[in-house]
Amino acid sequence: MLRLLARRLLISVPILVIVTFVVFLLLQLAPGDPARRAAGGESASLQDVAAARHRLGLDEHWWVQYWHFFSGLFSGNLGRSFFSDQPVVSAISDRIPVSLSLMAGALVVALLIAVPAGIVAALRPGSVADRVVMLISAAGVAMPSFFIGLLLVLLFALKLEIFPATGYVPIEQSATQWFESLVLPWLTLGFAAAAEIARFLRASLLDVLDRDYIRTAKAKGIGMFSVVGKHAMKNAFSPVLTVIGLQVRFLLGGTVVVEQIFDLPGLGSLTVKAVFDRDYPIIQGVAITTALIVIVVNLMVDVAYGYLDPKLRAA
């Protein structure tokens, strides 16, 4: 297992390098000029734009610019924002607690909905419960998160006035308010993920419940709770783990929209602004951070595979 993890960790290094390189190249190819914005916008003279370009190092060859960025990685220096002059590391560390809170909570919401729903549907295939679960999960997959988010705001914030419509309260300021500020974003983001996970869990569990060892367990008189919880779920959950790993990527992308709807100061809103402004250092920093998050999640999925499947532990 340790060897597997070490191998995965080693592979993640070139992945990170490739991510930084591809993002850098895409930025070079994208139209738009951050130097003009840095020089003061529309009314800046050509001389001022040229001076800003020199100051930001944008007049150097692209490979020199890339090398500056890449070499900075080793000292933890991701540069500074072109426009706010804020260190990229500081900009990201200010925002990442919001995005991680959002993603982690959404994943919990997704699992809280998906696991019972998937089990109920799998235990009674074709029943009313199964059809309801499948119908709701189809809706969850089909409905865009902004639509779900706006409906939740309309209902829980504007009509019932239970949760705030917008804003984020840091957990260190107030745990209760932090929770309240994130409930609707969690539900928004978690609903679609839940739908996907529930569908996969249902299919996987249906397959496992049909196997001989389950039939044997039932024949031995083991209760349904133990059959599913102890015997079936361990095997059925392996493919679901893959889906959960994929959902993390989906959740990462979904934060961009959800942060806009709920005015959350996370990585998503930072990225959108940086992309529109062509704030290259921030975009690069966010790309590295999100790549790292995905790599870490994949490693966690691998560890979970090992827990569920002893054969993998020996690999």
Partner 1 sequence: MSFRQSVTAMVAAVVTALSLVACGGGSSGNAGKTGAPTSSGDLDPNATFTFADPFQNDTIDPAKNDSGFPTRQLDLVYDRLIGIAPTGALEPQLATKWEFTSPTSLKLTLRPGVKFQDGAALDADAVVKNLNRSLTLPEAGAAVKTPASFISGVQASGTDAVVITLKQAHYSIVYDLAQNLGMMISPNALSGSLDRTAVGAGMYKLVDFKPGVSATYERWSGYWDPSAVKLARVVVKSVLDGQTRLNALQSGQVTMSIIDENQIEDAKSAHLNVKDKATVSAWTMFLNLTRGGLDNEKVRQAISTAIDRDALVKTLAYGHGEPVVQFFPPSYEAYSGDWPASKYAFNIDKAKQLLADAGHPNGISLSVLILNRPLDKQLGQALQTMVKPAGITLKLQVVEPARYSLFTDGDVDLFLGRWGGRADPADTLKSNAAKGGFINPGGGTTAEFQALMDKIDATPAGADRTKLVQQASAVFAEQQLDIPIFARQAIFADNGCVVGFEPYVFGADEYRGVGIKKGCGS
Per rule CB under 8 A, is residue 93 in the interface with partner 1?
A: no
Question: Per CB under 8 A, which region of 43-51, 69-77, 208-216, 306-314 contacts partner 1?
Answer: 43-51
3-state class (DSSP) for residue 80: strand
Name the minimum Å distance from CB 179 to partner 1: 6
Footprint (CB under 8 A) of partner 1, residues 278-297: 278
Question: Per CB under 8 A, which region of 20-28, 37-45, 200-208, 225-233 contacts partner 1?
Answer: 37-45
| Rounded CA separation 198/247 (Å) | 12
Per rule CB under 8 A, is residue 96 in the interface with partner 1?
A: no
Name the minimum Å distance from CB 173 to partner 1: 12
Name the minimum Å distance from CB 314 to partner 1: 44
Tokens at residue 125, please?
Answer: 């295939």
Nearer residue to partner 1 within complex by CB, 163 or 200 = 163
Q: Return the closest-CA partner of residue 293 out of 255, 252, 265, 240.
A: 252
Looking at 23, 103, 109, 153, which residue binds partner 1 (CB under 8 A)?
Answer: 153
Looking at 86, 97, 299, 300, which residue binds partner 1 (CB under 8 A)?
Answer: 86
Nearer residue to partner 1 within complex by CB, 187 or 288 = 187
Site string for partner 1, 179-218 (x = CB under 8 A): xx--x-----------------------------------
Burial class (CB in 10 A: 0-12, 13-18, 19+), 300: middle
**Residues paired with residue 87 on neighbouring β-strands, in sequence order:** 80
Footprint (CB under 8 A) of partner 1, residues 228-267: 260-263, 265
DSSP output for 121-135: HHHSTTSHHHHHHHH
Nearer residue to partner 1 within complex by CB, 121 or 261 = 261
CA distances from 45 to 35, 36, 40, 278, 283 (A): 11, 9, 9, 19, 26
Amino acid 251 reads L
Looking at 23, 27, 39, 102, which residue binds partner 1 (CB under 8 A)?
Answer: 39
Looking at 58, 129, 150, 292, which residue binds partner 1 (CB under 8 A)?
Answer: 150
Which ranges of the chain would DSSP assign to H, the alpha helix? 2-29, 34-38, 46-55, 62-74, 88-123, 128-142, 145-152, 175-209, 212-219, 224-226, 233-262, 267-277, 280-308, 310-314
Name the minimum Å distance from CB 12 to partner 1: 30
| Rounded CA separation 212/283 (Å) | 52
Per rule CB under 8 A, is residue 36 in the interface with partner 1?
A: yes
Name the minimum Å distance from CB 75 to partner 1: 21
Nearer residue to partner 1 within complex by CB, 128 or 158 = 158
Q: Return the closest-CA partner of residue 122 out of 205, 194, 197.
A: 205
Tokens at residue 107, please?
Answer: 């994943």
DSSP output for 97-151: HHHHHHHHHHHHHHHHHHHHHHHHHHHSTTSHHHHHHHHHHHHHHHS-HHHHHHH
Per rule CB under 8 A, is residue 33 in the interface with partner 1?
A: yes
Which residues are at the interface with partner 1 (CB under 8 A)?
31-34, 36-45, 48, 51-52, 55, 81, 83-86, 91, 94, 150-151, 153-167, 176, 179-180, 183, 260-263, 265, 269-270, 272-273, 276-278
